[in-house]
Homo-oligomer: A and B are copies of this chain.
Amino acid sequence: MSKKIKLGILGGGGDSLIGILHRVASSMFDKFEVVGGVFNPALEESEKFSEEIGINRDKIYKDLDHLIEEETKLPAEDRIEVVSILTPNFLHFPMAKKLLENGFHVICEKPMTTSYKEAKILEDTLNKAKTIFAVTYTYTGYPMIRQMKEMIAAGELGEIQKIDVQYYQGWINPIIHDEEQRNSIWRLDPEKGGISCCMGDIGTHALDMVEYVSGLQVEKLLADLNYVYSDNKMDVDGTVLLRFSEYVKGVIRTSQIATGEENNFTVKIYGKKAGLKWEQENPNYLYKLEDGQPMKVLKPGHPYNSAFSLDGTKLPPGHPEGIFDAMGNIYKGVAKAIKGEQYHPGEFPGIKDGVRGMNFIEKVVDSHAKGNVWVAMDK
């Protein structure tokens, strides 16, 4: 029997993209073994899927309640220790809460909950539970993002004075202009998707990234969203002005109607001494700009990177790693935490990140609804 950490998965069955992302990431450092879960609401589908991914049926459950009931009966060494929640968004909160209350570690896809209120409740639950909780803002797992974070923390940019983040996609373009389609997909249905489409899905990544790399917190924001059609109920594009403090400003730009864009997420941070730029689609390049100096192009795996960045690179320079590797780094951090090993505070996003994200979504929608005015984020 394997001595890896036993991982259960909720959702992610069939040819789910998020499913394969988590399975690959979990196996990447030989730390986890997927042993069961509830891949699908239909038990027979879950069982069929367990065949496909080559695992036994004994830990495949009808639903989460059965999983909790049965697993908690087992001796600790046979038990699922950590559960990854990959189900539709509205299930994240109740599932995470129940798991935490029953002593499981949890890895939760984003958005963590469907409201800020739920997010705060979950925070309380976790505070009591004392288990490990991660939210998978995957992009924070890239080695050059870690390097960016560490360079900023080390003062290489000096005081930050300007932040600009872009997250442009074009995937909703063919949908939004078709009346029938835009009124039928779940992403644009507030009952299923929450109060925001574009900001909820990708704006939260942008906010998390901004705060992750800069170490600053957004104090207040002013948002301008675009719904494109009067019968469309959810934003598909938006720009958010950010204020970190009186003279430290920023902007988050997001779109799902930037026709032809794939997953164009870019981060630019400028300080008094230098600037840093990074692009998700070419994640192995970090650009450092300084007045009157040649631009420097940093890449993963070199000794000039921080230990934390280097810990996220498996091969020597010039062997490109990608998004599976970024998620793998997050899982690696969770494994360290579960095993009680030392880990870097930024090694995986946690409850605070999830709470900030939900607060951001609500504040953005509020600012827009009030006519694009400044609203303060909670501290």
Task: State the A residues within 8 Å of B (CB).
Answer: 1-4, 17, 20-21, 23-24, 27-31, 33, 51-56, 157, 161-162, 164, 166, 168-171, 173-174, 177, 222, 224, 226-229, 237, 239, 241, 247, 249, 251, 253, 255, 257-264, 268, 270-275, 280-284, 288-299, 302-304, 314-325, 328, 372, 374
Contact = CB atoms under 8 A, between A and B. Distances in A.
Nearest to A298: B294
A24 B161 CA distance: 38
A100 to B, nearest CB: 25
Contacts of A229: 247
30 contacts: A4-B54, A20-B29, A21-B314, A23-B30, A30-B53, A157-B259, A161-B259, A162-B226, A162-B257, A164-B168, A164-B258, A170-B270, A226-B249, A228-B247, A239-B249, A251-B251, A258-B270, A259-B273, A260-B293, A261-B289, A262-B316, A262-B318, A263-B318, A263-B319, A264-B318, A282-B320, A294-B304, A315-B323, A321-B322, A322-B322
A56 to B, nearest CB: 7
Contacts of A372: 222, 241, 374
A361 to B, nearest CB: 19
B314 A17 contact: yes
A177 B296 contact: no
A157 B297 CA distance: 19
Q: What 10 pairs across the A-B complex have the smallest Cβ distances?
A: A260-B289, A263-B318, A262-B318, A4-B54, A30-B53, A322-B322, A294-B296, A320-B322, A27-B27, A262-B317
A261 to B, nearest CB: 6
Contacts of A253: 164, 251
Contacts of A4: 54
Contacts of A319: 263, 322-323
A117 B61 CA distance: 56
> What DSSP secondary structure best describes chain A's contact surface?
loop
Contacts of A280: 318, 320
Contacts of A23: 30
A59 to B, nearest CB: 12
Contacts of A302: 292-294
Contacts of A17: 314-316
Contact of A55 (B3, B247, B291, B316): B3
Contacts of A251: 239, 251, 253
B3 A281 contact: no
A161 B228 contact: yes
A247 B263 contact: no
Contacts of A261: 270, 275, 289, 318
Contacts of A3: 51, 54-56
Contacts of A241: 224, 239, 241, 372
A17 B55 CA distance: 27
A195 to B, nearest CB: 19
Given A23-B30, A30-B53, A162-B258, 11 more contacts: A33-B54, A161-B259, A164-B166, A164-B168, A164-B253, A226-B249, A260-B270, A260-B291, A262-B318, A288-B294, A321-B324
Contacts of A177: 272
Contact of A295 (B157, B260, B271, B284): B260
Nearest to A21: B315
A239 B241 CA distance: 8
Contact of A320 (B27, B51, B164, B283): B283
A241 B118 CA distance: 32
A237 B162 contact: yes
